[in-house]
Amino acid sequence: MTIPSAEGFLQASSCLPCTATEEREVVDALTKEAEKNVKHGDLRYLVSQSWWMEWQGYVGLVNYGESGTEQFPQATNRPGEIDNSKLVLAERINGSEEPELQRTLREGEHYTLVPQEVWQRLYEWYKGGPEIPRKVIFDNPTDKTYVVDVYPLCLKLIDARDDSEKVFRISRKAKVHELYSMVCSLMSVEQSEIVIWDYYRRTKGKELTNQNDTLEEAQLSMDQEILLEMKLGGGSSGFSARSTNDELALIPLEPSTSSFSIAGGPTFSNGFSSGIGSSFSQDNSFSPLLRDGEDGYNSLSNGTKDDTHGLSGLHNLGNTCFMNSAIQSLVHTPPLVQYFLEDYTCEINKENPLGLQGELAIAFGELLRKLWSSGRTSIAPRAFKSKLSRFAPQFSGYNQHDSQELLAFLLDGLHEDLNRVKEKPYIEAKDADGRPDDEFAEECWNYHKARNDSIIVDKFQGQYKSTLVCPVCNKISVTFDPFMYLSLPLPSTVTRMITVTVFSGTGDVLPMPYTVTVQKNGNCRDLTKALADVCCLKNSETLLLAEVYERRIYRYLTNPIEGLHIIKDEDILVAYRLPVGHEKLLRLEILHSRADRFLVEPQFNINRKLIGCPIVTCIPNDSTAKSDIYAAVSSVLVPFVRAKAHSPDVSAVKLNGNGPSLDGIVLTDNGTTSEEGLSTSRSREDDNAADNELLPFQLSLTDEKGSTRNAIDMDSNRVLGLVIRVLMDWGEKEHGMYNIDHMDVLPEVFKPGFMSKKTRQEAVNLFSCLDAFLKEEPLGPDDMWYCPGCKEHRQASKKLDLWRLPEILVVHLKRFSYSRYMKNKLDTFVNFPIHDLNMSKYVKPTSRGDQHPVYELYAVINHYGGLGGGHYSAYAKLVEEDNWYHFDDSHVSSVNEDEIRRSAAYVLFYRRVGGSSTAANGGPVDIEMVDSLET
């Protein structure tokens, strides 16, 4: 590798052995080598995501995104020192030299992970820090998938001898015997002399005796206490161990996990394992109501209720508020409460390869019974968290996750564990073949029920109709599919505001910017139509869309079905009003150049820079003479003529005898040309006479970048393709005649400002979200549909209709929007009904005699704050008491119903009410939502 000299470019303290390209190649090679030979115990280093993105831009790193390969924009400046300061807390733990990591970080948003060799090379080049190493952990030695323990367990060791405390970190995948070794090293004691107890919340639990258990399997959680006691004559000092022999007798499982996850990031598996062994007692007895001290549950219960039932909180085990909020919402769902408080063991499906052999259902049912037992003592769901982590590695560790994603996993997992269908029959999918929708929908539902039959299907699943239409052959495809929740986009997430500056291609009016609202998944045809409406386009006119970059036409948007995703907010878009059928004419593209110095010969013109915005007009294909081109340019410049330039003396402007001796295009008093539009009927005598006159401006032929300059031929000019480009020089004379301000500074497609903030703060209602969800729209470019008629993948239009609604309607408000390099949360206030949500407008009437689709709210999951640093809580209603409560981890408090509607609402839970509802019979509904119902 050739290493160029960096002398004169960097400080002596900086080491730069490579160019930007070579840096990229070195890092790429080291990364591939590290991933190829990864092993347990390897180190990965955290690097600030902002610095990493800056470095990627500097080296021009190739990114493999959703739409294939994409090159990062090349940055000109070399990044400064690596700055990881925002990833760590200012203080350190008990004087530890290792910095404490912020608890709310997300991979890809706040940091990225690089192999040790890459970190060493980056540090050698850039210095900085602090260093944040983390270990690679293999869940299964026979599998090459691994996780990086970004958040190892932080434990507080209490010494029973003097009540002293010591905080240390250890991997959650470490064995109990490794914990003993670390404690012995910290406390300078022999392992044979000590006993370590689970001391969660300073309550003595079980002794940690199984040396081969991982700390995760031992149910140790983040920031909890452990107790060190010295053995005395074969016993231990202090309190006697509390018996746990009355726990549910289940054989511990050792599931294999094959999911790949880095620091709690995305997983490439659904978290289920088909090879998990489970065992119940032979008589299939079931008594999950016994005491479980590990979960902080302290009293026996037979499932009966008293005045304080259902008001237990859940401890936060370390960024587990996402889990707690979802659990509280489900355990306050009346049908689930009734189901799990009864004996449901006969429905546990231990043979389903898609399920968890009943373990998830048992863990959930156990937790629900504890939460609904008498008393208001909060519970630590450590056993449930431990099993959840083993079955779904994406939720292991102590990173923050999405509550709705966990909810979806729980509902799906509970369904498979409780599926009454032991052997799923093979059913071949059939087409409607012209049958009525009622008949085909019922057949699809029966097929679904033949393979999926559980309490979750009974209560949570509905059915929607999906209609796809091919844009080419108009082939229509109809399917009926089940759903378990509705993910509703907020209107601001399905539409976007686009600003386009519209130019007149015939010189009628000045350019004018217009802002229109279009569907995000729309196409250029939608944008053109919206612009045509706002700018009052004539029937004889059409619009030609183009993107302007660096004062030139970067591309024309002529494909009407091209998606609007290609248009970025920072782009500059223009549209030219041209006559219908302009495609058959020659397109004349006019670029503008500033001349700081003007010399006689064009080839010596120097210091020229493009200014303004290109203007596009059309001329006949056979009219490329110099006079034709000047006439067309003069015509489109008419709106820019300054007031003083309307005097008769304009055409008499001389350039001191310099420049070509050609006739000028004379402007009349009313600002029009002396020629008639784009007329090309000048006689040869007129052209010859032009030799003796001076033009009001100077033009030359150029290329698409405006970098070349050639003289315009008097008779005709050769045209390559359908575009002829000319460059207009702007000097003092031209600026005196024309005002270029109207074309010099053009607005971007979308610039965040007052209007965007105002839009973001405006309230929307649940019905507008439903309208956006059910509105017909084209599929995205990454979600093309294979048309059976065309035998090609097409960007079809898709329309959803609700066909069958479930008893429990879960509504997910899509507040989080994701793009390739950006994530965002919308705090838009969504006005949703608490009582009498009438869905009659949205569900298709059928002959099934369904109940009235009227619902009442009973739970809400809230998300406060932004991405990464947010917090989840839940509102839940005790239906029998008709009272609302706020479940904020272990804290439970009463709340008024009028406080339920908040901009933090993220997931809504509705329960269908009887047909006697006043709303169903045309009576009064939620007053605050009347306007919404009328939309």
Q: Which sequence positions are flagged as catalytic?
A: 321, 871
Measured between alpha carbons, how far is residue 384 from residues 224, 326, 531 in Å? 17, 13, 56
Burial degree of 11 (CB within 10 A; 0-12, 13-18, 19+): exposed
Q: How far apart are CA 565 and CA 780, in angstroms?
A: 9
Q: Which residue do the tokens 């229509």 mark? A: 476
Torsion sign across C-alpha atoms 252, 258, 263, 265: negative
Q: How far apart are CA 267 and CA 257, in angstroms?
A: 11
The angle at the Cα of 312, spanning 307 to 317, to the nearest 5 degrees, equals 175
Can you tell me whether residue 18 is helix, strand or coil? coil
The residue among 911, 827, 918, 927 whose CA lies nearest residue 876 is 911
Q: How far apart are CA 807 and CA 457, in angstroms?
A: 10
The residue among 198, 381, 309 whose CA lies nearest residue 889 is 381
The residue among 397, 371, 392, 409 whose CA lies nearest residue 135 is 397
Q: How far apart are CA 504 and CA 510, in angstroms?
A: 7
The residue among 871, 864, 854 whose CA lies nearest residue 918 is 854
Please report, as a single letter, which amino acid is at residue 697.
F
- Residues 6+ away with beta carbon under 8 Å from 358: 278, 280, 348, 349, 350, 417
Q: Provide the token pair at 261.
A: 């996850």
Half-sphere exposure of 315 (CA within 13 A, CB side): 21
Q: How far apart are CA 110 and CA 98, in angstroms?
A: 19
| Phi, psi of 70, rounded to the nearest 5 degrees | -140, 135
Query: Which H or E element spans position 786?
Result: strand 785-787
Say whether the peptide bond before residue 130 is cis (omega within 30 degrees of 0).
yes
Three-class DSSP labels, 757-800: HHHHHCCEEHHHHHHHHHCCEECCCCCCEEECCCCEEECCEEEE
Measured between alpha carbons, how far is residue 363 from residues 342, 368, 444, 663, 859 in Å? 15, 9, 33, 92, 22
The angle at the Cα of 439, spanning 437 to 441, to the nearest 5 degrees, equals 65
The residue among 567, 573, 559 whose CA lies nearest residue 511 is 573
Q: How far apart are CA 58 and CA 53, in angstroms?
A: 9
3-state helix, strand, coil in the chain (%, to 5): 25, 25, 50
- Residues 6+ away with beta carbon under 8 Å from 737: 641, 642, 645, 650, 653, 696, 697
Please report, as a single letter, which amino acid is at residue 597.
R
